[in-house]
Structure 1
């Protein structure tokens, strides 16, 4: 007579019956529930943490790419000496032929668009309030191409009126108490040049557009001004400070750096968004790995409870094991029965943890909003975090590795007590029965 195949139906039936301990074996039942709840909570914490970390990185990158260039091309200032007079001359880093350079860069494969920019630092004032701001001189078409700036849900005003004034961040508008149609006064130290020196330049502009880029530091410091006006205001007539470049794959923006430098010439320098934020993103990636390891230890600790529960179960079921062995069950069959007891706990706990983790990740923003309301805004501080909310992004890979880790640990810790049960001598088990 052929032996039953491994993991036959009767093995599942016996294992499931052992898990439903009788009242007299309440200790086993309690350990099973502790193991199950511990694994569920560990998997839930792992999935929710990974989702929040992924969402935080995605939101951070999106706010960067939604309001900033992927790469910036600018010219390095150079100095040279007149051989006849010995005088040293400095060539500024402005871009004189910016239209031609913008066209050459925009024609490169993989470059989606490029535009010239004039930049400068100013003091922004309104009434008795003031704030330091950074002015970006761009055309209306270039401003309209920035998704985070022109989002109708977070902006106010009409972008068509941009040529008649300036666009300011919501943080500046809030700190200076400005609205659409109000006037903001900008003070630049690099003003008109006179025989007695350079005098500050003070101009007042109408606020025609208020935006929210999703980044606290951008919203409270950035002002957009029409390019022609910015050239006049910062003494940049006919020149630009840099060329902003946008590519098809921002995550691989470094691949375009050699082509950009070749198109721009010998004095050109390239600064990418990854150069500006690379250290922060690297820190996030490192924290992801550290958090995964730490939470994996929590799942391991919860899984170890399966071992304790199975050892107690094997001890309580010694008589049953002896009877099953005398009835013809092999060591392998007994091992599989008790392995299934632990595996059931791990699988059920993992499924519950996945459901709880997904539910927590999908509602983490609402939970943080409720905590923020209860704490008076202290649970999430955008001036510290840089973004306005706690996002979460569920990724299939994160769920898969959390499930794989939980099941692997649950199965591994089950092997030792299952082998102990399989190697139990039936004669010794039934001697005192």
Structure 2
């Protein structure tokens, strides 16, 4: 009997074998086990890839949305009085030169300092970032009306405090925060601490635990006066049009900045963590790929049992004219059908998980009594997931490829059975 490959009768025979019960010589139970195993493996792979992509995207977004993409600073040098300093005296001219570089969208001179912030008998260490109001507005994660509290238009009258600091101190908009800096005025008895009291006009949340718990924004001129930085800035922050490809613009920035200083980029600050994430992503993908392989191996055991139970049928089919290729295709259809159905089920489950991860995570957090996700350890406040078409295609391609490959061996074994021996043994 000769016909085109994968003819209708081959599909009909394969379907009869797949739905046959144990009493009829089929292995429907093993078929269901294989199908469920593949579905769960593909679900786990898609869910992991979605969480991986979401975590990296959220982490990078909080970095780029609340920090400079590149920071220019000068090297330590001795001033005319023999005192070491690394401030930038010509920050206005330097900022103008850097602003003229194509690809730079915003430039901001900054004054920085460490202080002890106190309110209501409680104290926390904090970092003061002195920036003009327009420069702070350029950071989308800082001035975000959807999560911020207060009126940022009053920034010139006070300070903007991170939500973590406000939570630790029990601080709210309208309260007065005491700031103590160890680098105060010079007296004959040494350096006296500098104390200032400022009204809190805005409480921001950048989406990062470390930023919200340490950072305070102060108007640039006020920060200059508070930290004795009259006429100078500590560094210059730059925002770029395409922060992911900052290597392309760095030569132009170096040329515009001239000698005596250097740049620190967001990749320099967070590069080690991002590389660790990439290594972890690759390892997790390999491990879950092995999980998919193990799940597809159930197809092999199921088909071997099916071939053994259907030896007499195979002998009859070969006797009435089915070729070796036709028999092989029948059992190949049996194996790959399980793989395809299991893969589709896994894709549906994985996509539903990624799209409803907030509700699922809230349920898990509620059942466990809370504390499942510690932002102090993970940096961000929640478990994100980002479903990408490329990740879904990768999972589907891997599952279907392995399903097809592992099916070939038992299908070839069935095709090579001798009809006479198959009828005798069956």
- The TM-score by the shorter chain falls in which range? over 0.9
SS at 2:145 equivalent: coil
User: Does the alignment pair 1:11 with 2:19?
Assistant: no
Q: 2-side partners of 1:359 and 1:187: how far apart?
A: 51
- Matched with 2:267 is 274
SS at 2:229 equivalent: coil
- Matched with 1:52 is 51
Counterpart contact for 2:312–2:425, Cα < 8 Å: no
Counterpart contact for 1:75–1:93, Cα < 8 Å: yes
Cα deviation, residue 197, structure 1: 2.2
- Matched with 1:159 is 152
Q: 2-side partners of 1:390 and 1:163: how far apart?
A: 36
State how 1:171-320 maps to structure 2 within 5 Å: 171-320=164-313
State how 1:142-157 maps to structure 2 within 5 Å: 142-157=135-150
CA deviations over 1:305-356 (Å, ceiling 9, x no partner): 1001001111111111111111211111111110010000000000000000
Q: 1-side partners of 2:163 and 2:5: how far apart?
A: 67
SS at 1:431 equivalent: helix
Q: 2-side partners of 1:270 and 1:107: how far apart?
A: 17
Counterpart contact for 2:17–2:26, Cα < 8 Å: no
Cα deviation, residue 25, structure 1: 4.3
Cα deviation, residue 169, structure 1: 0.4
Cα deviation, residue 283, structure 1: 0.6
Q: 1-side partners of 2:55 and 2:32: how far apart?
A: 34
- Matched with 1:85 is none
- Scaled by the length of structure 2, the TM-score of the pair is 0.97
Q: 2-side partners of 1:46 and 1:398: how far apart?
A: 9
Cα deviation, residue 369, structure 1: 1.9
- Matched with 2:320 is 327
User: Does the alignment pair 1:102 with 2:101?
Assistant: no
Counterpart contact for 1:254–1:272, Cα < 8 Å: no
- Matched with 2:346 is 353
Q: 2-side partners of 1:400 and 1:90: how far apart?
A: 61
Structure 1, unmatched stretches of 5+, are 83-87
Cα deviation, residue 392, structure 1: 0.2
- Scaled by the length of structure 1, the TM-score of the pair is 0.95
CA deviations over 1:373-428 (Å, ceiling 9, x no partner): 33332211111111100000111111111111111111111011100100011111
Cα deviation, residue 199, structure 1: 1.0
SS at 1:333 equivalent: helix
Comparing 5-14 with 205-214, greater Cα deviation is found at 5-14
Q: 2-side partners of 1:242 and 1:26: how far apart?
A: 78
Q: 2-side partners of 1:163 and 1:377: how far apart?
A: 39
Comparing 354-363 with 158-167, greater Cα deviation is found at 354-363
Aligned mate of 1:412, from 369, 385, 405: 405
Spell out structure 1 runs of 4+ moving beyond 4 A: none
Structure 2, unmatched stretches of 5+, are none
Cα deviation, residue 89, structure 1: 3.5
Comparing 243-252 with 201-210, greater Cα deviation is found at 243-252
Q: 2-side partners of 1:172 and 1:213: how far apart?
A: 12
CA deviations over 1:259-286 (Å, ceiling 9, x no partner): 2222112111100111011010001111
Structure 1 residues 198 and 432: alpha-carbon distance in aligned structure 2, compared to 1, 3 A threshold: closer
Structure 1 residues 20 and 112: alpha-carbon distance in aligned structure 2, compared to 1, 3 A threshold: same
Alignment root-mean-square deviation, CA: 1.6
Q: 2-side partners of 1:217 and 1:319: how far apart?
A: 70
